[in-house]
A and B are shown apart, each in its own frame.
Chain A
Amino acid sequence: MGILPAIGAKEVNLQLGTTSELLMLLAGMVYAVAFVLWTLDLVRSSRTVRELEASLREQEARELVGVGAGAVRGGRTSHANSEVEGQLVDDTMAYDRSAPRRGSARVAIAVMTLGVLVHLGAVITRSIAAGRVPWGNMYEFLTTGAFIVTAVFLIALIFKDIRFMGAFVSALVVVMMCFATMGFPTPVQPLQPALQSPWLIIHVSIAVTASALFTITFALSALQLVQTYRVKALAAGKADKLSWMRLVPSPTSLENTAYRINAVAFVLWTATLILGAIWAEAAWGRYWGWDVKEVWTFIIWVTYAGYLHARATRGWTGTRSAWLSIVGYACVVFNFTAVNIIFPGYHSYAGVS
């Protein structure tokens, strides 16, 4: 065999594979519960908002000379470090320890953590059952990707107050799990000969991670667009129809965060492209042949390169930048689904017949 055991297992543990599938289903259901709880947190936002405003007013009353503190504007207090009037969270996404607790969010985080642990168990059992890394076909790519999205979110949540993203992220993860378990369930099986290469470990894992990060920036960019729309409506004097968005930072803050994450993801995607080319040279004889998947990987790369350039281009920051990020993610989704299923090519390793 000569290749690492992580790739070349010829026999699989079917029983453990079934256990993995059950755990995946369970994780998906737990994520769905977490989604409901996060939504509850947003729905209850009006009460949260009232509590936050009350605590902010208390704070301001205690401070004698306000340097950099928020201003009280006719009952609609703002957080220090917020760009939008009425915004109750910090634009640097730092936790406000003195703010009242958001009970629903706490439970949501606990449930989501439980879900990610079950999910981790599912990924590990799948890996042991197949005798290799758990990203050898579409099903595994998507389920492992969903795990990374949730893990990155929860870890970031320890350091930054990104509770506003909870509902969006858990919704995306539930969709990913449903797609994988219901759209193209793939029982555990050995890898096709073409995929039996150490490059599978590194090329696909980086691709999964980059895709997971692009998912998160998609959520941030979508929220940025909603917040921009809301800010414009408020500036025009209209009533605040989306008052739960007061728990979301300003569009600029969202854009900056999205940029930072997209920068990391872009480097990872460049690495994906190059490693894929190196693997293609070893497997197919040429490092680049404009195969459908290669074309779409290139399109995604160029789109996000445009996104990075837009950052330094007058008139292309703000909403346009958010749209570029969203279009880029649409290409990522297309690359993953349509290219694997509709277009036959060298890259049809979906595992889907």
Chain B
Amino acid sequence: MTDSSSPGSVEERPADAQTAVVVPKLGPLGMLRWAWTQLTTMKTALFLLLLLAVAAVPGSLFPQRSQSPEKVIQYIKDNPFWGPVLDKAQFFDVFTSVWFSAIYLLLFISLVGCVMPRTRQHWRASRRPPARTPARFSRLPESGQLELADDTVSDDEVLASVAKVLRRRRYRVQIRPAEGRVGASVAAERGYSREWGNLLFHYSLVGVLISVAVGGLFGYSGQRILVEGEGFTNTLVAYDQFSPGNRFNAENLAPFSVQLDKFSVQFNRQERTDGKYGTPVDYEADVTVKDSPDASPRKTKIKVNDPLRIDGADVYLVGNGYAPIITVKDAKGKVAFSGPVVAVPQNSMYLSLMVLKVPDTGDPKNQLGFQGFLLPTTGFQADGSAVSIDPDAVDPTLQLNSYYGDLGLDGGKPQNVYVLDTSKMKDLNNRTLDAGGIVLDNTKAGHTYTLPDGKGTISFDGLKRYAGIEIHRDPGKLWVGVFAVLAVIGLATSLFVPRRRVWFKLEGGLAGGTGSERMIGFGLLARGEDPRLRGEAQALREILMKEIPGLTPVETTSTITTSQRTLRD
């Protein structure tokens, strides 16, 4: 009896004459090796690919934090049970989740584990001469015989002609003397680049993954709203929003500055009936840029598809809107606030929500707050309510409510600039009150309003536009592009370059001169998909018949592509 406790030993199954299969017992190292072999099979790759496709679906069905965090919060609020459950399972962060990452990481490990041995294999194969000449060609997908009636051509000359024709058709050729049962033959192979392309494609995917990771780690992105006339310098404090990578270093911020001189919009003013009249057709931001503090300023334009590219960062135009210029005077007539106020567009007619907090009224108990809408072009509905009827600023009005009291800014807790907390404030102007709401337009008479109870005045002094810009830095993105292009080149090569083996051998009669006819057999084999194999066989026959006089075809066999399906390239 063998010792069954030592690793790798053979364990015999008890007395069963039919099951003479002896299964070796695998130790831990053997198990790991088995697991690795399983991981790098095609079947596993296929399974992981399909699993990856399925795993990506929730990322499109549920709101994702990386895209719209406010939608995620809303979803969790709307679904008090499932919301937190899905959140815990990372369904709102699918593409950075544990389970999604596990799938693509496994897939990449499988990829590397399969591709590396194949690289070694192919390197060796590409240095060796073409494959051994088979004894029987009848098993090959394409085969046949040619009869040579001409005696003046010697065997060597025949083989040399065949070799020349094949070389011209870009085959790697080797002429071989007779050995064993096989007569003198010419062996040829072409299409080594098919496998090189395959390997290039798969390695490029790894390159893409690494470049994406590097870019994400060392890069950053941030947002800023710039009103016409405002400038932005690339420092941390200047951003409205900023998200860096894990290895980001603040010293790496390129020291440029951008000033928005003018923002213009072109509207569709063609007579039409499909509701598209007045929609924006072009946005343009005129800016002044300084690439570094001591560089001279230059003027340029930023458009939606034409970002500003500076050494070290790129500036994109992502949004725009109106910023009405408002002056608020306090009860004593001193200016408490004066300047543009960013209003956030709510619909395609640029109806914009505006919030203004005025804490410096000189009386901490009587701080002022305003909230309402800017209507770029004011029209009136049947019930008398005001509505914006055009996104261009043809007839702008401000419709506001006002409040007085404590804005809550002194508490030290940060507040959202665009949200007015009226919990500690009392209504001052409101449609439901006697004082009514505030309506300001751009006429001489209607642009100022005196607040009730002598709280002050508010005036609408002008209208500016603003542009929302995003600054991005991704040090890996150029490499992602390079690897992506290499991947496509590799992919096309691996799918469309045919890899073929061709053999011609002398059969039957010995060296010419005896008067007997000589037979030349040929066979073709494709390594991988090759729908044109039959055409190649035909072409070779025709060329050879022209090249060597007296050559006639005897028989040709082509197997229908049924059995030609190869399992591995």
Seen from chain A, the residues whose Cβ lies within 8 Å of a Cβ on chain B are 1-3, 8, 10-12, 14, 67-68, 81, 83, 91-92, 187, 189-194, 196-197, 199, 252-253, 256, 259-260, 263, 266-267, 270-271, 274, 277-279, 281-292, 295-296, 298-299, 302-303, 305-306, 308-317, 331, 339, 343, 345, 353
Please state if B46 and A306 are interface contacts (CB–CB under 8 Å). yes
**CA of A279 to CA of B307, assembled, Å:** 11
Knowing A302-B49, A309-B46, say if A278 contacts B495 (CB, 8 Å): no
**CA of A2 to CA of B543, assembled, Å:** 55
**Would you list which residues of chain B between 220 and 270 have a CB under 8 Å from chain A?**
221, 266, 268, 270
**CA of A311 to CA of B484, assembled, Å:** 24
Q: Which residues of A contact B484 (CB under 8 A)?
A: 274, 277
Give chain A nearest CB distance to B447 CB in angstroms.
31
Knowing A253-B561, A263-B496, A302-B52, say if A312 contacts B95 (CB, 8 Å): no
Please state if B304 and A283 are interface contacts (CB–CB under 8 Å). yes
Besides A196-B304, A299-B57, 19 other CB < 8 A contacts? A3-B305, A11-B270, A12-B270, A252-B562, A263-B496, A267-B488, A267-B491, A274-B481, A274-B485, A277-B484, A283-B307, A284-B318, A288-B212, A289-B66, A296-B60, A302-B53, A308-B495, A309-B45, A339-B60
Please state if B281 and A193 are interface contacts (CB–CB under 8 Å). yes
Interface size class of B (residues with CB under 8 A): 35 or more
Knowing A287-B477, A295-B56, say if A194 contacts B304 (CB, 8 Å): yes
- Judge if B128 is at the interface, Cβ distance under 8 Å: no
Closest to A7 in B: B305
Mark interface residues in B50-74 (1 if CB within 8 Å of A CB, else 0): 1011001101100010110000000
Please state if A283 and B477 are interface contacts (CB–CB under 8 Å). no
Q: Which residues of A contact B95 (CB under 8 A)?
A: 290
Please state if B274 and A189 are interface contacts (CB–CB under 8 Å). yes
Q: Which one of B275, B279, B282, B305 has the highest number of Cβ atoms from chain A below 10 Å of its Cβ? A: B305
**CA of A3 to CA of B492, assembled, Å:** 31
**CA of A280 to CA of B185, assembled, Å:** 57
- Judge if B283 is at the interface, Cβ distance under 8 Å: yes
Give chain A nearest CB distance to B208 CB in angstroms.
10
- Judge if B156 is at the interface, Cβ distance under 8 Å: no
Question: Which residue of B481, B555, B565 contacts A278 across the interface (Cβ within 8 Å)?
Answer: B481
Give chain B nearest CB distance to A168 CB in angstroms.
22
Q: Which residues of A contact B279 (CB under 8 A)?
A: 192
9 A-B pairs (CB sep. < 8 Å): A189-B274, A190-B268, A266-B491, A266-B495, A270-B491, A277-B480, A278-B481, A286-B472, A313-B46
Question: Which residue of B306, B314, B560 contacts A83 across the interface (Cβ within 8 Å)?
Answer: B560
Give chain B nearest CB distance to A259 CB in angstroms.
7
Give chain A nearest CB distance to B492 CB in angstroms.
5
Mark interface residues in B532-565 (1 if CB within 8 Å of A CB, else 0): 0010000000000000000000010100111001
Closest to B561 in A: A256
- Judge if B146 is at the interface, Cβ distance under 8 Å: no
Q: Which residues of B contact A190 (CB under 8 A)?
A: 268, 281
Please state if A281 and B272 are interface contacts (CB–CB under 8 Å). no
Question: Which residue of B45, B280, B307, B531 contacts A285 across the interface (Cβ within 8 Å)?
Answer: B307
Please give me the 8 A-B residue pairs with the lowest Cβ-Cβ distance, nearest first. A197-B305, A306-B49, A285-B472, A285-B316, A302-B53, A295-B60, A313-B42, A263-B495
Q: Which one of B50, B470, B560, B562 has the highest number of Cβ atoms from chain A below 10 Å of its Cβ? A: B560
Q: Which residues of A contact B67 (CB under 8 A)?
A: 289-291, 345
- Judge if B181 is at the interface, Cβ distance under 8 Å: no
Please state if B53 and A306 are interface contacts (CB–CB under 8 Å). yes
Give chain A nearest CB distance to B42 CB in angstroms.
4
Closest to A351 in B: B276
Q: Which residues of A contact B316 (CB under 8 A)?
A: 283-285
Please state if A274 and B488 are interface contacts (CB–CB under 8 Å). yes
Please state if A283 and B305 are interface contacts (CB–CB under 8 Å). yes
Q: Which residues of B contact A314 (CB under 8 A)?
A: 43, 567
Please state if A299 and B304 are interface contacts (CB–CB under 8 Å). no
Please state if B304 and A193 are interface contacts (CB–CB under 8 Å). yes
Knowing A193-B283, A263-B495, say if A317 contacts B275 (CB, 8 Å): no
Q: Which residues of A contact B492 (CB under 8 A)?
A: 267
Q: Which residues of A contact B567 (CB under 8 A)?
A: 312-314
Question: Which residue of B43, B56, B487, B566 contacts A270 across the interface (Cβ within 8 Å)?
Answer: B487
Give chain A nearest CB distance to B275 CB in angstroms.
7
Q: Which residues of B contact A81 (CB under 8 A)?
A: 560
Mark interface residues in B335-351 (1 if CB within 8 Å of A CB, else 0): 00000000000000000
- Judge if B334 is at the interface, Cβ distance under 8 Å: no
**Would you list which residues of chain B between 340 and 395 have a CB under 8 Å from chain A?**
none
Please state if B488 and A312 are interface contacts (CB–CB under 8 Å). no
Q: Which residues of A contact B569 (CB under 8 A)?
A: 312
**CA of A285 to CA of B250, assembled, Å:** 20
Closest to A259 in B: B529
**CA of A83 to CA of B470, assembled, Å:** 61
Give chain A nearest CB distance to B194 CB in angstroms.
12
**CA of A83 to CA of B531, assembled, Å:** 17
- Judge if B474 is at the interface, Cβ distance under 8 Å: yes
Q: Which residues of A contact B60 (CB under 8 A)?
A: 292, 295-296, 339, 343
Give chain A nearest CB distance to B296 CB in angstroms.
24
- Judge if B33 is at the interface, Cβ distance under 8 Å: no
Give chain A nearest CB distance to B319 CB in angstroms.
11
Please state if B56 and A298 are interface contacts (CB–CB under 8 Å). yes
Question: Which residue of B46, B474, B562, B568 contacts A316 across the interface (Cβ within 8 Å)?
Answer: B46
Please state if A282 and B307 are interface contacts (CB–CB under 8 Å). yes
**CA of A75 to CA of B496, assembled, Å:** 42
Knowing A253-B561, A267-B488, say if A299 contacts B53 (CB, 8 Å): yes
Knowing A14-B272, A267-B495, A316-B46, say if A290 contacts B560 (CB, 8 Å): no
Knowing A270-B491, A284-B316, say if A193 contacts B280 (CB, 8 Å): yes
**CA of A23 to CA of B82, assembled, Å:** 51
- Judge if B136 is at the interface, Cβ distance under 8 Å: no
Question: Which residue of A196, A299, A311 contacts B56 across the interface (Cβ within 8 Å)?
Answer: A299
Please state if B305 and A196 are interface contacts (CB–CB under 8 Å). yes
Q: Which residues of A contact B529 (CB under 8 A)?
A: 259-260, 263, 311
